[in-house]
Amino acid sequence: MQAIKALDAQDVKIEQFPYRGKMYEVKGISVRWLSKCGDDGHGSPEYGLRLFTAQPGGEIPIHNHFYHQTMYILEGTFECYGYDAESDELSETQVCGPGSSVYIPSMEPHGMKNLSDSEVGRFLCCIANVYEDEEVL
């Protein structure tokens, strides 16, 4: 067993995210790894739980990844974006506040922005790889 206080985990500022071979600027976002396990062979753990902090107006640009993720908004209001996987055109926008949960399937392009110009936003993000040949119950 491992137990830590979330705010004791190292807070790491995220500068850029890759998408389709190009680096995109991340604005006002930091992450604390609360747990992680395994290695997916692509630089990410097989499973992980992270605490994200978004400064006022903080934004995560379009990106995707192999793992599935579920985000749970703790504080703040976020605009969450879904993009068409073929054209990268914006296909869906949802405004999500505290108590909202957002699921992103593997490889689905997405992004999000803290809508406040004065308040910090925070969300938990659970990531896990699920392979096609594994049965999910």
Per-domain boundaries in the chain: 10-96+107-128
Give me the CATH code for the 10-96+107-128 domain, please.
Answer: 2.60.120.10
Distance separating alpha carbons of residues 18 and 20, to the nearest angstrom: 7
Distance separating alpha carbons of residues 22 and 9, to the nearest angstrom: 29
pLDDT tens for residues 5-27? 999 999 999 999 999 999 999 99
pLDDT tens for residues 48-102? 999 999 999 999 999 999 889 999 999 999 999 999 999 999 999 999 999 999 9
